[in-house]
Structure 1
Amino acid sequence: MGNVVVMRAEDARRRELESEGWVVIARSFGARLEAADVDQTVLQEQIGKISDPVQLTELDAGDANMILELDQATADDYPGSVATQHEQMTADEARPTDRRRAFGAVDKEGVLLAMTFVEVEVEGEVEGGVVDTDFTVVRAGFRRTGLGAAVKAYSILALLGEGALLFRTGGSADNAAIIGANARLGYVRDEEWVTLAEPDHPAA
């Protein structure tokens, strides 16, 4: 089947592997948003684009069933390769905690339409906490409506108010929707990654 490896795009090993026949089968990225650079007006504008029947809210352990349902419904919708794969959550993982927070968009029928999960690090490269996006997903049929950007904006504002100083995110370079959403929210790409496969790998 062949192996795959994920590395920074500028990694010195990349040229050597490519000279041996390894090929790039996927690209991904990382991006950052410093709290000092957050434009709260822009974030509020993203939230304001959501129609009234949809409510943005922080999700908690009592929402685990709806979280699992949306996670299962969108399990095959993540673009990219191993670097951006999303494993379906277990029942325990679907219960947000103080360190693993979740924010969502719920319609008037109580159906979860979009959600974003983030990891809040108390200690990290920036004193005061780093917020790292785990994933953001929107239910099929409601994409390209601004829901993804809105739930991310809502989460940033909520955690900004709690003193977070750095927000990180990432994803597949083929995911135009999330790239556009990140740009609107002010994230700046600062990492580029490649996934390389051996010549005999099916994706090569």
Structure 2
Amino acid sequence: MGEKIVLPAGAPERVELEAGGWTVVARSFGAKLDADRIDHARLSALVSRAAGPVRELDAGDVDAVLRLDAVTADDYPGSIATQHEPLDRSTAMPSDSRRAFGAFATDGPLVAMTYVDVDGAAAETGFTVVHPGARRQGLGVAVKAASVLQLVADGVARFRTGGSLENTGILRANDALGYVRDEEWVTLERR
């Protein structure tokens, strides 16, 4: 594996790098959502479609979070721009500045989660993941919608998210919530 660089997709130096033998190996995006553009009824409906409970996670959920994180550790497409560092007890612990929301199966286990870093009136999604056996049921959308609704109620006005452009599930989830993609990045590798 060669050296890698992450650049905005439209960066002028990209042309020179590609001409010099660098290759695009991954694409990623950033997206925004402003609180005044949120359709609260729609987001509430997305949360209510989950078969089991969807709620904010707390210290009592850390073991379940670590189990789900371990099961999904290899599920992050893309490259260095979208890598996920495996959680440990400390990084799995929700706090006032690192909020977490989860969806549970009707028989109890945590099957989807999203972590959001909050700084005053701004919030940025760290990651969202769904258990392989529970995908395509709207759970990623449900946990992201729950996070947005709760954080807006707590005073957050601006949301950011991002990820790999290869991850069609998260792209659909973000579209359903009203996020607008406003940046694209490329990861270039010199082989």
TM-score band w.r.t. shorter chain: over 0.9
Q: 8 Å contact 1:50–1:147 — kept in the other structure? A: yes
Structure 2: gaps of 5 or more residues:
none
1:48, distance to aligned residue in structure 2 (A):
2.3
TM-score (norm 2): 0.97
1:72 to 67, 70, 73: 70
2:38 match: 38
1:150 aligns with 2:137: no
TM-score normalised by length of structure 1 = 0.91
Partner residue in 1 for 2:17: 17
Q: Is the 8 A contact 1:62 1:95 kept in 2?
A: no
Instruction: After TM superposition, give the deviation of residue 73 of structure 1 in Å.
Output: 0.6
- Structure-2 residue corresponding to 1:125: none
How far apart, CA to CA, are the structure 2 residues paired with 1:17 and 1:156?
Answer: 39
1:141 deviates by 1.1
Secondary structure of residue in 2 paired with 1:192: strand
Q: Is 1:110 aligned with 2:108?
A: yes
Percent of matched pairs sharing the same residue: 52
Count how many residue pairs are aligned between Structure 1 and Structure 2.
191
Q: Map 1:1-204 to 2 at 5 A.
A: 1-51=1-51, 54-122=52-120, 129-198=121-190, 200=191
SS in 2 for 1:158: helix
Name the CA distance, whole Å, in 1 between partners of 2:162 and 2:95: 22
Give me the CA root mean square deviation.
0.9
Q: Distance in 2 between matches of 1:152 and 1:28?
A: 19
Report if the CA contact (8 A) 1:47-1:153 is conserved.
yes
The 1-side partners of 2:162 and 2:122 are apart by 14
Distance 1:50 1:61 in 2: 23
Structure 1 residue runs of 5 or longer lacking an equivalent are 123-128
Instruction: Please state whether the residue corresponding to 1:117 is helix, strand or coil.
Output: strand
